[in-house]
Amino acid sequence: MSSKVRVRFAPSPTGPLHMGGVRTALYNYLFAKKHQGDFILRVEDTDQTRFVPGAEDYIIESLKWCGIEPNEGQGYGGDFGPYKQSERKHLYRQYVDQLIESGHAYYAFDTAEELNEQRELAKSQGKAGWQYNSITRQYLKNSLSLSADEIKQKLDEGEPYVIRIKLPRNEEVRFYDEIRGWVVVNTANMDDKVLYKSDGMPTYHMANIVDDHLMEITHVIRGEEWLPSAPLHILLYQYLGWEAPKLAHLPLILKPDGNGKLSKRDGDRLGFPVFPLEWKDPKTGDISSGYREKGYFPEAFVNMLAFLGWNPGTPQEIFSLDGLVEAFSLERVGKSGSKFDPEKTKWYNQQYLREKSGEELAQLLKPSLSFDVSDEFLAGVCELMKERALFIQEMLEDDYFFEAPQAYDEKTIKKKWKDQTPEIITELTSRYEQLEDFSAKKIEETFKSFLAEKELGMGAVLPNFRVLVTGKGMGPSMFQISELLGKEEVINRLKTGLERLEKQKA
Of positions 3, 125, 259, 374, contacts RNA by CB under 7 A: 259
- Do 232 and 174 form a contact (C-beta atoms < 8 A)? no
End-to-end CA distance of the chain: 91
For the bound state, the minimum distance from the C-beta of residue 105 to RNA, rounded and expressed in Å, comes to 13
How many beta carbons lie within 10 A of that of residue 452, not counting itself?
9
- The yes-or-no answer on residue 414 being catalytic is no
Between CA 246 and CA 66 the distance in angstroms is 26
For the bound state, the minimum distance from the C-beta of residue 115 to RNA, rounded and expressed in Å, comes to 5
For the bound state, the minimum distance from the C-beta of residue 112 to RNA, rounded and expressed in Å, comes to 4
For the bound state, the minimum distance from the C-beta of residue 502 to RNA, rounded and expressed in Å, comes to 21
Nearer CB in complex with RNA: 64/197: 197
* 191 part of the interface to RNA, by CB under 7 A: yes
Between CA 348 and CA 326 the distance in angstroms is 20
User: What is the number of residues in the chain?
Assistant: 506
* 252 part of the interface to RNA, by CB under 7 A: yes
Nearer CB in complex with RNA: 65/92: 92
Q: How many alpha carbons fall within 13 Å on the CB side of residue 97?
A: 6
| Cα dihedral 156, 160, 162, 163 in deg (nearest 10) | 0
* 131 part of the interface to RNA, by CB under 7 A: yes
Range 210-249, binding RNA (CB under 7 A): 224-229
* 185 part of the interface to RNA, by CB under 7 A: yes
* DSSP codes joined into one string, 469-497: HHS-S--S-HHHHHHHH-HHHHHHHHHHH
Between CA 122 and CA 144 the distance in angstroms is 22
Question: Buried b / exposed e across 245-260, counting CB within 10 Å, b at 16+?
Answer: bbbbbbbbbbbbeeee
Give the residue from 20, 67, 21 showing the smallest Cα distance to 255.
Answer: 20
Between CA 378 and CA 373 the distance in angstroms is 7
For the bound state, the minimum distance from the C-beta of residue 450 to RNA, rounded and expressed in Å, comes to 14
Nearer CB in complex with RNA: 218/482: 482
- The count of chain residues that interact with RNA, using the rule CB under 7 A, is 81
Of positions 38, 110, 266, 383, contacts RNA by CB under 7 A: 110
Of positions 6, 9, 11, 212, contacts RNA by CB under 7 A: 11
Range 142-161, binding RNA (CB under 7 A): 160
Of positions 344, 418, 441, 505, contacts RNA by CB under 7 A: 344
Of positions 265, 335, 366, 441, contacts RNA by CB under 7 A: 335
Of positions 199, 427, 488, 499, contacts RNA by CB under 7 A: 199
Give the helix, strand, coil percentages of the chain, each rounded to 5: 50, 10, 35
**Coil vs helix vs strand at 115:** helix
* 132 part of the interface to RNA, by CB under 7 A: yes
Of positions 237, 347, 377, 391, contacts RNA by CB under 7 A: 347
Of positions 16, 245, 273, 337, contacts RNA by CB under 7 A: 337
Range 263-302, binding RNA (CB under 7 A): none
Give the residue from 64, 62, 83 showing the smallest Cα distance to 72.
Answer: 83
Nearer CB in complex with RNA: 117/374: 117
How many beta carbons lie within 10 A of that of residue 21, not counting itself?
21
For the bound state, the minimum distance from the C-beta of residue 367 to RNA, rounded and expressed in Å, comes to 25
* 476 part of the interface to RNA, by CB under 7 A: yes
Of positions 111, 118, 363, 439, contacts RNA by CB under 7 A: 111
Of positions 50, 280, 418, 441, contacts RNA by CB under 7 A: 50
| Active-site choice (197, 261, 264, 294) | 264
Question: Of the listed pieces 97-105, 251-259, 280-288, 364-372, which binds RNA according to CB under 7 A?
Answer: 251-259
Dihedral sign from CA coordinates of 258, 263, 268, 274: positive
For the bound state, the minimum distance from the C-beta of residue 439 to RNA, rounded and expressed in Å, comes to 16
Q: Which residues contact 166 (CB under 8 A, 6 or more apart)?
A: 103, 104, 105, 106, 144, 192
For the bound state, the minimum distance from the C-beta of residue 372 to RNA, rounded and expressed in Å, comes to 27
DSSP class of residue 370 equals: S
Dihedral sign from CA coordinates of 466, 469, 475, 479: negative
Nearer CB in complex with RNA: 261/264: 261
Range 398-457, binding RNA (CB under 7 A): none
For the bound state, the minimum distance from the C-beta of residue 170 to RNA, rounded and expressed in Å, comes to 13
Of positions 87, 313, 426, 502, contacts RNA by CB under 7 A: 313
**Coil vs helix vs strand at 227:** helix
* 46 part of the interface to RNA, by CB under 7 A: yes
* 124 part of the interface to RNA, by CB under 7 A: no
* DSSP codes joined into one string, 60-113: HHHHHHHT---SEETTTB-TT---BGGGGHHHHHHHHHHHHHTTSEEEE---HH
For the bound state, the minimum distance from the C-beta of residue 197 to RNA, rounded and expressed in Å, comes to 4
Question: Of the listed pieces 93-101, 187-195, 364-372, 374-382, which binds RNA according to CB under 7 A?
Answer: 187-195
Nearer CB in complex with RNA: 219/466: 466
Task: Write the single-letter amino acid at 57.
Answer: D
DSSP class of residue 261 equals: B
Nearer CB in complex with RNA: 277/469: 469
Of positions 204, 272, 417, 432, contacts RNA by CB under 7 A: 204
* 459 part of the interface to RNA, by CB under 7 A: yes
Q: What are the catalytic residues?
A: 264
